[in-house]
Structure 1
Amino acid sequence: MDNFTERRLASNYRTLLFRRNASDQEIFGFECMDGWSDLIEGSLQLIQRYVGLASDVKITQVKEKFGLLRIYQRGGEEKVCQVLDICELVSSCVCELCGKSGNLTMSDGWILARCDKHGDSSHMELVESQSADERYIGSYVRSVDSILSFFGADAVRWVQQESIALGGKRPCEILGTEDGCQAVYKLLKRLEHGVGV
Structure 2
Amino acid sequence: MNNFIERLLANQYRTLLFPKDFSGDAVFGFECNDGWANLIEATLRLTRRHAELKALDVKVTQAKEKFGQLRIYHSGSDEDIGSVFEIAQLASGCICELCGKPGEVVSLEGWLVARCGKHSARGHLDPIEAHIADEKYITSYTQAVDAILAFFGAGAVHWVQEERTAFAGRHPSEMLATEEGCQAIFTFLKRLEHGVGV
Percent of aligned positions that are identical? 55
Q: Runs of 4+ in structure 1 displaced over 4 angstroms?
A: none
Superposed displacement of residue 196, structure 1? 2.9
1:72-101 CA deviation, whole Å, 9 max, x = no partner? 101111111000000000000000000000
Provide the aligned length of Structure 1 versus Structure 2. 197
Matches within 5 A, 1:1-197: 1-52=1-52, 55-120=56-121, 122-123=123-124, 125-197=126-198
**Counterpart Cα distance in 2 of 1:86 and 1:127:** 26
**Counterpart Cα distance in 1 of 2:57 and 2:189:** 31
- Consecutive unaligned residues in structure 2, runs of 5 or more: none
1:96-126 CA deviation, whole Å, 9 max, x = no partner? 0000000010111100100000013521544
**Counterpart Cα distance in 2 of 1:148 and 1:119:** 33
Where 1:52 maps in the other structure, the secondary structure is: helix
Contact residue 58 and residue 75 of structure 1 kept, 8 A: yes
Contact residue 70 and residue 89 of structure 2 kept, 8 A: yes
After TM superposition, the score normalised by the length of structure 2 is 0.95
| Residue identity in the other structure for 2:32 | C
| Residue identity in the other structure for 1:15 | T
- Consecutive unaligned residues in structure 1, runs of 5 or more: none
User: Relative to 1, partners in 2 of residues 1:52 and 1:129: Cα closer, same or farther, differing over 3 Å?
Assistant: same
After TM superposition, the score normalised by the length of structure 1 is 0.96
1:10-39 CA deviation, whole Å, 9 max, x = no partner? 011000000012122222101000000000
